[in-house]
Amino acid sequence: MNKEFSVMMARYNAWQNDSLLASVETLSDEARRKDRGAFFGSIEATFAHLLLGDKLWMGRFSGESAPAIGSLDGEIEDWAAFVVQRRAFDREILTWAKQLEAKWFVGDMKWSSIAAGKDFTTPKTTAVVHFFNHQTHHRGQIHAMVTAAGAKTTDTDLPFMPEP
pTM: 0.93
- The secondary structure of the chain in percent helix, strand, coil, rounded to multiples of 5, reads 60, 10, 30
Per-residue model confidence as pLDDT tens digits over 59-70: 999 987 666 555
Q: Decide: 105 and 127 in contact? Cβ < 8 Å.
A: no
Per-residue model confidence as pLDDT tens digits over 84-101: 999 999 999 999 999 999
Domains in the chain, CATH or no CATH each: 3-108+124-160 (1.20.120.450)
